[in-house]
Amino acid sequence: MKTRNYAENPDQKINWKVFKAISPYLLKYRRRITVALGCLVLSKGASVCGPFILKHLVDSLTQKGIAEIILVPTTLIIAYGFTRLTVLVVGEIRDTIFGRVCERAMRKIGLEVFQHVHHLDLEFHLSRRTGGLSRDIDRGIKGISFLMRFFVFNIVPTLLEIILVAGLLFYNYGISFALVTIIAAGFFVLFSMITTDWRTQFVRDAAQADSRAGTLCVESLLNHETVKYFTNEEFESNKYDQALRHWEQAKRKERLSLLALNTGQALIISLAMAIMLWLAANEVRDGVMTIGDFVLINAFMMQLFMPLNFLGFVYREIRGATANIENMFSLMSLNTKVLEQPNAPDLKIFGGDVTFKDVSFAYHDERPLLKRIDLTIKGGQQVAIVGASGAGKSTLVKLLFRSYDILGGTILVDEQNIANVTLKSLRESIGIVPQDTVLFNESIFENIRFGNPAAADDQVLEAIKLAHLDDFIRELPDGSATVVGERGLKLSGGEKQRVTIARTILKKPAILVFDEATSSLDSESERSIMEALNKISRGYTSLIIAHRLSTIIHADKIVVMDHGEIVEQGSHSELLEMGGRYSDLWIAQLKEKD
């Protein structure tokens, strides 16, 4: 998947299409948006009224003289205070109301992306980078919040206020004041956009330097034992210091470019205000304007240019937000290659028979992996599949689970083509104990309950007993409430496998699959786990992918694969008598033990 990360694509322009993509999620809350926009109009109206009230207040003071200050109409003071309060309170109400809309939209979009990614096929998940994917989703959701809050309630209102103020100045004081306002605002916006585009390269370089330094730091600390083994602490420190030096230089350039942006903006504001005040002062001197008019024009200019000061930052962030939102929505455009047929029925389990008929498969067209496989597993039968690495053993499991679709042939479960039934019903009927066990960073109890989230506590405890986990759990200070750590790192390989077995028992599937579940364990752990597997698989259709032949000698049938083909089938004793491929593997493993 091609990403459009703004940090890596500084020339990315604002993508207006994202507003169209977001709008359906926002328009569900039309009433709230209408109220929020009403608050926006009221707030801007009060904001524009404030300088006029201030003008009349100042005129009132200057006309009556210092001795008569006490006689100044208090209504003007109250009115001015009320307008300022209205601007603040209505603005808060607007943000609160629209904030609920943004949060609901973010929740809805985030959930839809999360669900969609979970439904994508195994090929996507094998090629993706988990960290990058989570950042894409996180950046996209945060981008929606930023876009709505800053664009809708900062950029657009400010531009509307500029037009409104220019109109009022033209109506009350003539075209010169309106022209200065529009020209100054135009120059300000143009300068901010051009300068922001120029300094983006420095922002990007600083971000990349920061990422490199952070990566070096984390990687070095994660491998602290290796660093100590080779006494390379000083080497690692020098590498980290060099990365920090690049970051320091990049930050200096970013800071200087920000200085150029801020200085240019300040110069435009200062020149505009100086010209406006000079014009107003001349009008006051000639008696055309009052001191209150002078104060009004100054207040308007201050009121206009204060929010524009943030334009460079907001413009850059809006570009980044639209790029991140586009990147997140691009995930929604990805489609899984494993599809259900419309109105597909659920799989019905009767006896648990599994049949591979003339099955062919390849991950890549130029390299066929399975070649016309024919295999029948009767209900309740235990069948083991053995062979060298790359023979296609685990691929059979992936095809049965429909992680991929076959290129030719048919896979049947109780005479039902798995391509014609719902994926959910098929996968609910199959329980897999994989070679690489991954647990959630939760308690042992909750990790087991994951096999059936609706299971009662008594059912979880029963699964623990069947998996022979109860003795181990009793030795733990926190018992089954013990948190296993990230990916189960606090447990040994054998302990993790037992948790996975208990989880699969709790699922109660009709078909059990053990995909080299003991290949990474020591002999003692392997023996105890195989006892558990043999016990729980009685009465179930079970498929065992095995590396160590000693673990499957009691299987009802052993299937030997080589280069994507089934070359031998039979019981352990029958295959040894044949003196073929299985016999060679058996002898080779006996020699390894010696």
518-530: per-residue pLDDT in tens? 655 566 666 666 6
Higher pLDDT, 334 or 206: 206
535-581: per-residue pLDDT in tens? 777 778 888 888 778 778 888 899 998 888 889 898 888 888 888 88
Cα distance between residue 293 and residue 287, in whole Å: 11
- SS3 for 473-502 is HHHCCCHHHCECCHHHCCCCHHHHHHHHHH
pTM for the structure as a whole = 0.64
* Tally of CA atoms within 13 A in the half-sphere of 263 that contains its CB: 6
Q: What is the mean pLDDT of residues 162-178?
A: 82
Q: Dihedral sign, CA of 132, 134, 138, 141?
A: positive
The secondary structure of 104-138 as a DSSP string is HHHHHHHHHHHHHHHHS-HHHHHHS-HHHHHHHHH
Q: Dihedral sign, CA of 496, 497, 500, 501?
A: negative
Give the model's pLDDT for residue 63.
59
Give the three-state DSSP class for 377.
strand
* 571: nearest Cα among 404, 388, 382: 382
Higher pLDDT, 184 or 485: 184
Give the model's pLDDT for residue 3.
43
Lowest mean pLDDT segment, chosen from 50-54, 274-278, 435-439? 50-54
Give the model's pLDDT for residue 67.
44
Q: For a pLDDT cut of 90, what percent of the chain falls above it?
A: 4
Q: What is the mean pLDDT of residues 201-208?
A: 78
In DSSP terms, which residues pair with 360 in a beta bridge? 408
pLDDT range class, residue 12, cuts 50, 70, 90:
low
Higher pLDDT, 510 or 331: 510
Predicted confidence (pLDDT) at residue 64 exceeds the cutoff of 80:
no
Give the model's pLDDT for residue 8.
45
Lowest mean pLDDT segment, chosen from 51-55, 349-353, 367-371? 51-55
pLDDT range class, residue 62, cuts 50, 70, 90:
low
Give the model's pLDDT for residue 6.
42
Give the model's pLDDT for residue 10.
47
Predicted confidence (pLDDT) at residue 316 exceeds the cutoff of 80:
no
Instruction: Please check whether residue 292 is in contact with residue 58, taking contact to mean a CB–CB distance below 8 angstroms.
Output: yes
* 5: nearest Cα among 279, 239, 328: 328
Q: Where are the alpha helices (DSSP H) in 286-310?
A: 291-308
Mean pLDDT of the chain: 79
Both structure tokens of 4: 């459009």
Predicted confidence (pLDDT) at residue 196 exceeds the cutoff of 70:
yes
Give the model's pLDDT for residue 281.
85
All structural domains of the chain, each given as residue ranges with its CATH number in brackets, are 17-332 (1.20.1560.10)
Predicted confidence (pLDDT) at residue 473 exceeds the cutoff of 50:
yes
Cα distance between residue 200 and residue 371, in whole Å: 54
Give the model's pLDDT for residue 412.
92
Instruction: Please check whether residue 354 is in contact with residue 542, taking contact to mean a CB–CB distance below 8 angstroms.
Output: no
Decide the pairing of beta strands 382-387 and 541-545: parallel
pLDDT range class, residue 516, cuts 50, 70, 90:
confident
106-157: per-residue pLDDT in tens? 888 878 888 777 777 666 665 555 545 666 777 777 778 777 777 766 777 7
pLDDT range class, residue 416, cuts 50, 70, 90:
very high
Predicted confidence (pLDDT) at residue 275 exceeds the cutoff of 80:
yes
Instruction: Please check whether residue 84 is in contact with residue 50, taking contact to mean a CB–CB distance below 8 angstroms.
Output: yes
Give the model's pLDDT for residue 258.
83
Cα distance between residue 466 and residue 121, in whole Å: 32
Q: What is the mean pLDDT of residues 229-234?
A: 83
Give the model's pLDDT for residue 147.
77
Q: What is the mean pLDDT of residues 500-514?
A: 86
Instruction: Please check whether residue 552 is in contact with residue 384, taking contact to mean a CB–CB distance below 8 angstroms.
Output: yes
Give the model's pLDDT for residue 124.
67
Give the model's pLDDT for residue 181.
85
- SS3 for 261-280 is HHHHHHHHHHHHHHHHHHHH
Higher pLDDT, 574 or 79: 574
Q: What is the mean pLDDT of residues 45-63?
A: 70
478-493: per-residue pLDDT in tens? 888 888 876 667 777 7
Q: Dihedral sign, CA of 276, 277, 278, 279?
A: positive
